Amino acid sequence: MTGPIYTADGVSVSLSGGNLSYIVVVALIALAALVMAALFRREVLAADEGTENMRKIAHAVQEGASAYLNRQFKTLGIFAILVFALLFLLPGDPGVRIGRSIFFLVGAGFSAAVGYLGMWLSTRANVRVAAAARDNQREPAMRLAFRTGGVVGMATVGLGLFGAALVVLLYRGDAPMVLEGFGFGAALLAMFMRVGGGIFTKAADVGADLVGKVEQGIPEDDPRNAATIADNVGDNVGDCAGMAADLFESYAVVLVAALILGSAAFGAEGLVFPLIVPAIGTLTAVLGIYLTKARVGESGLTSINRAFYLSAGLGAILSAIAAYAYLPGTFQQLDGGIGDHDGDPRLLAALAVLIGVVLAGLILLLTGYFTGTDKKPTQDVGRTSLTGPATVILSGFALGLESAVYTALVVAAAVYGTFLLGGGSLLLSLFLIALAGTGLLTTVGVIVAMDTFGPVADNAQGIAEMSGDVEGEGAQLLTELDSVGNTTKAVTKGIAIATAVLAATALFGSYMDVIMRELREVGATLDAHDSFVLEIFSPNVLVGVLIGACVVFLFAGLAINAVGRAAGAVVFEVRRQFRDDPGIMAGTTRPEYGRVVDIVTKDSLRELATPGLLAVLAPISVGFGLGIGALAGFLGGAIASGMLMAVLLANSGGAWDNAKKLVEDGHHGGKGSPAHDATVIGDTVGDPFKDTAGPAINPLLKVMNLVSVLIAPAIVVMTVGADANDGLRYTIAIVAALIIVASVWISKRRSTVISDEQPARENVSA
């Protein structure tokens, strides 16, 4: 199954045997990453599991997490099969359509596999980290938590790189079009896992905090709280499974965009070099994981950051060497692509990758500054707890707004700097932006390890507290690791957002490339289609921009409201158990943990449909209804507003969470004080911000961009040329819009609480 690669001028070129050999090497490196994942996994599972009581608690968390993901995958399986069939209806060569549909399932399957692996191992590593802390083994405890993340990190880069290389090997010239399906499958499933897992984890967390900490005055992971098991399960299905799938789809989608644009800008070399860069990142990620060791007297965060910067710097150097070793010295020597450019492809590619690596480091610094417990912004939020919850919320929200500006400006500077490297060639600039994304991807293996470290440490502290078997210095060690994990989770969310923007910008360029190709095929020119003239004065484009921004706001609102509804159900259930069974508070009877797990499982799966339909159908409605120009504006509006919204939500939530940690560490009155109550309320507001709505915007942007790329040929065919059919395209647009309206209406009809039979005051006094 091979076909031609079409360059910027529509010239056909083919992959040579030498280039195919490079791709085979990349595939072997990807398989080696999976072998390293297996080795790290064996190391984690070989560690001691602690006391019998600790193992029982861990087993309950394992059962709950597995049950939730199994039910979620059954639900999503039906949706995936439906999309698989719909992809056949898109125009194009039958062989390409079949390959695109098959690799849609492959991308979705890989995304699900990475997410499930993250959940499965983290629910077994948590008790082992707690056991190491019980023996006051600081370095082994931290190593176990980070190696758990290393397993997921290696699986992420291994499967993502192998999937992309396999498509290129099988389809060669048609690979860019088949890769659209691979990226779409990864992004769509990740979005569902991010939304569903986020609703699960934050509904349980918010409910547990409001009743346990605020109303009953008991610790966060007190075994008397019926929501504690659900809270710990949520850490794994949301932060581990959801974030692992999110970062995998970021990896896959950036590669897809780079390969689509690379084939047009660089020709055959554009299908190879974007695979070489992340292959180098795979090797440096292994080094970064091994380098992460807690030195005596050193903060765990310091050792993690050191490993990150060392692996990132080495990745940039090796990528530059690869550029000069593989790429020719002039564009005229490329196998197709842009032939009249005066620049040096080697230098431009090396600089683009370097910009991506530097961007990752800057995002790490920025996010760490705004959310770290040792930095002034979060300390200021903690200080406002002395005047109540309102000022905590105001200061945290203001922090999020401010940090979004700085983060967006840094990302914008990276995008514009890369754009300038193109020297006036838009296609080349877009490809270099995609290359910057692959540069950022050289750090993904370590980033995933950093992210998984957080929930594993959080769960370990929960198991220790619930079992009562870890005290003194061991308990303090777990508190330290949990605090480090809060910061690493916030940092990885920031980097994931930056990756989403680079990927979405590159996919935006891919959308343009597809439009140009289809216009050529129907005998039209780009200028012949007025709706694609991207002028700010064009009303349909401005309408598209506004709708794109609206979709981001609506998506975030739906996700946050879903958490509120599910958390309300948890609050009523936990209150009911305390009221109906006084033995729970006395410690003589055991709460019904399973009822809370069942509530959040059902609610989170029920809430999946509306955000998913919005992400898929909104670009369909805009594209078929308003035209390809308006759809371009839609994507631009979504990227801009999504970037700001995601950073605002993530950093506000992270600051509120760590402000609570500061108070719990003894500042401003410590646990049980009015300041503590104020920060708990701030944290519950921030929970759906940072762990549900904010991170879910990342896959949302990429799903909408990929849907736009997939439907662009059909829009062109129905709009211009001999097969134009305004009646059909308007019908498609109206039906898509009506489905969105109906799903949102159904979602809004759901009650925000489980029952209004008993007022809150009566429940609290009970």
Residue 128 near residue 49 (C-beta atoms within 8 A): yes
**Is residue 107 within 8 Å of 186, Cβ to Cβ?**
yes
Highest mean pLDDT among 379-388, 535-544, 607-616, 723-732: 379-388
Does residue 390 register a pLDDT over 60?
yes
Most confident option among 185-189, 390-394, 658-662: 390-394
| pLDDT value of position 721 | 64
pLDDT band of residue 10 (cuts 50, 70, 90) is very low
Q: What is the pLDDT of residue 9?
A: 44
State how far the Cα of 417 lies from the Cα of 414, in Å rounded to an integer: 5
The residue assigned the tokens 């790490």 is 364
Q: Specify whether the CB–CB gap between 178 and 259 falls below 8 A.
A: no
Provide the token pair at 267: 């020709």
Mean pLDDT of the chain: 82
CA distance 487 to 359: 18
Residue 393 has pLDDT above 90, yes or no: yes
Contacts (Cβ under 8 Å, ≥6 apart) of 755:
572
Beta bridge partners, 6, equal 12
- Closest CA relative to residue 617, chosen from 510, 508, 744: 744
Res. 384 pLDDT band, cuts 50 70 90: very high
List the structure tokens of 445.
């293996």
Q: Are 307 and 314 in contact (CB under 8 A)?
A: no
Evaluate whether 334 touches 328 at the Cβ level (below 8 Å): yes
pLDDT mean over 553-558? 91
- Which residue from 708, 664, 752, 703 is spatially nearest to 186, judged by alpha carbons? 703
pLDDT greater than 90 at residue 195:
no
Examine the pLDDT at 737 and tell me if it is beyond 90. yes
The DSSP secondary structure of 545-592, one letter per residue, reads HHHHHHHHHHHHHHHHHHHHHHHHHHHHHHHHHHHH-HHHHHTSS---
d(CA 435, CA 427): 12
Short-list 317, 332, 555, 307, CA closest to 450:
307
Q: What is the pLDDT of residues 429-472, one digit of tens each?
A: 888 998 998 888 788 888 888 888 888 888 888 888 887 777 77
3-state secondary structure of 540: helix
What does the alpha-carbon distance between residue 727 and residue 230 come to, in Å, rounded to a whole number?
A: 50
Whether the pLDDT of residue 547 is over 80: the answer is yes
User: Angle 750-194-101 (CA atoms, 0-180°, nearest 5)?
Assistant: 105
The arithmetic mean of pLDDT across residues 58-86, rounded, is 82
The CA distances from residue 12 to 5, 15, 18, 263, in Å, are: 5, 10, 18, 10
pLDDT tens, position by position, 27-61? 999 999 999 999 999 999 998 888 888 888 888 88
Average pLDDT for 153-167 = 89
Of 483 and 678, more confident: 678
Q: Bigger pLDDT: 371 or 11? A: 371
DSSP helix/strand/coil, 172: strand
Average pLDDT over residues 158-167: 90
Residue 487 has pLDDT above 80, yes or no: no
What's the pLDDT band for 601 if we cut at 50, 70, 90?
confident
Give the least confident one: 336-340, 344-348, 510-514: 336-340
Per-residue DSSP letter, 4: P
Distances, alpha carbon 235 to alpha carbons 44, 151, 192, 262, in Å: 19, 17, 16, 38
**Looking at residue 48, what DSSP letter applies?**
-
7 pLDDT band, cuts 50/70/90, is: very low
- Provide the pLDDT confidence category of residue 261 given band limits of 50, 70 and 90: confident
Taking the C-alpha atoms of residue 53 and residue 37, their distance in angstroms, rounded to an integer, is: 29
CB distance 165 to 87 below 8 Å: no
Indicate whether 723 pLDDT > 60: yes
For 3-13, give one letter per residue: b (16+ CB within 10 A) or e.
bebbbbeeeeb
Average confidence (pLDDT) over 345-356: 92
Largest CA distance in the chain: 81
pLDDT of residue 28: 94
**Dihedral (Cα; 575, 581, 586, 592), 10-degree rounding:** -70
The tokens describing 405, both together, are 């500006």
Given this model, what pLDDT does residue 244 score? 77
Residue 15: what pLDDT? Answer: 62
pLDDT of residue 2: 38
pLDDT at 32: 94
Q: Is the pLDDT of residue 537 over 60?
A: no
Residue 534's pLDDT band (boundaries 50, 70, 90)? very low
In this predicted structure, what is the pLDDT of residue 553? 94
Output the CA torsion 93→96→101→103 (10° steps).
Answer: -170
List, for residues 95-151, the tens digit of each pLDDT value: 888 888 899 999 999 988 888 888 888 888 888 888 888 877 778 888 888 888 889
Strands 5-6 and 12-13: antiparallel
Mean pLDDT of the 682-696 span: 87
Task: Compute the Cα dihedral for 485, 488, 493, 496 and give only its sign.
Answer: negative
Please give the single-letter amino acid code of residue 71. R
CA–CA separation, 405 vs 396, rounded Å?
A: 15
531's CB contacts (< 8 A; 6+ apart) are 538, 540, 626, 627, 628, 629, 630, 719
pLDDT band (50, 70, 90) for residue 297: low
Task: Report the C-alpha gap between 10 and 5 in whole angstroms.
Answer: 9
- Residue 587: left if φ>0, alpha if ψ -120 to 50, beta else—which one? left
* pLDDT range class, residue 752, cuts 50, 70, 90: low
Distance separating alpha carbons of residues 304 and 653, to the nearest angstrom: 22
Query: Are 225 and 218 within 8 A, CB to CB?
Result: yes
DSSP-derived secondary structure for 230-252: HHHHHIIIIIIIIHHHHHHHHHH
What pLDDT is recorded for position 530?
A: 43
The H or E element containing residue 659 is helix 628-664
The average pLDDT across 212-241 equals: 77
Tell which residue, 439, 442, 447, 445, has the closest CA to residue 489.
447
pLDDT at 354: 94
Spans of all domains in the chain: 61-292+300-765
Which amino acid, one-letter code, is at 716?
A: V
For residue 171, what pLDDT is reported? Answer: 84
